[in-house]
Amino acid sequence: MPPATRFSVTDLLERYKQGQFQFEQLNLRYLSLKGVKLPFIELIECDLQGSNLSGAFLPGAVFIRTGLRQCRLNRANLIGADFLRADLSGAQLNRVMLSGAKLTGSNLSEAKLLETALNGSDLRGAILKRANLRGANLSYANLQGADLRGADITDTDLTGANLLGTLMPDATYVDYGFDLLMAGTE
């Protein structure tokens, strides 16, 4: 992959205003994009490590294979966003609207998702090790094959969630018979 091109907030907003919605391999590290309104923007293989997107309006946004490590996305609207294989490790996603989002294969290790709306989201194969999901809404979410080891799911709504093949916080494994097995046992 070629080196990422450094972009400023002004560059990004100006190009978006001119009708460019897809951006690839940009370096947007440690920028403040707090409260921006960029619905349906596509940031593919970009680096947003440490950036602040708190309160941003980004429904339908695409963040495929994008680095969002230690980003602040608190209270952002990311309904229906696509985070396929994105790295959100250590990110703050408190009270974020992620209903219907695609987080397939994403890394959310040690992320903070307090009271986040993830209802109906696709989290197949997501890594949520040591994530804080306290009070989150994961109703009807697909968590097949997700890794929740060490995650805090206190008061989390898992009504109707698909947990087949999921490694639970206590290292139990949900098998196809819906029995909890200790990881490593048959």
Gap between the Cα atoms of 99 and 117, Å rounded: 6
Check whether 149 has a pLDDT greater than 80: yes
CA proximity to 133, closest of 180, 94, 87: 94
Gap between the Cα atoms of 52 and 39, Å rounded: 17
At 175 the pLDDT is: 73
Find how far residue 174's CA is from the centre of its chain: 22
Q: In the block, which residue shows the tokens 């947990």?
A: 163
Q: Are 72 and 91 in contact (CB under 8 A)?
A: yes
CA count, 13 A, side-chain hemisphere, 138: 26
- Convert the pLDDT of each residue in 17-59 to its tens digit: 999 999 999 999 999 999 999 999 999 999 999 999 999 999 9
Instruction: Judge if pTM exceeds 0.75.
Output: yes
Residues 6+ positions from 164 with CB-CB distance below 8 Å = 144, 145, 174, 175, 176, 178
Gap between the Cα atoms of 66 and 76, Å rounded: 17
**Which band of pLDDT confidence, cut at 50, 70 and 90, is reported for residue 182?**
low
Residues 6+ positions from 141 with CB-CB distance below 8 Å = 118, 119, 120, 121, 122, 123, 158, 161, 162
Top CATH class of 1-186 equals: mainly beta
Kindly state the tokens that stand for 37.
């309104």
Give the start-to-end residue ranges of the domains of the chain. 1-186
- Convert the pLDDT of each residue in 62-118 to its tens digit: 999 999 999 999 999 999 999 999 999 999 999 999 999 999 999 999 999 999 999
At 142 the pLDDT is: 97
Kindly state the tokens that stand for 149.
């080891």
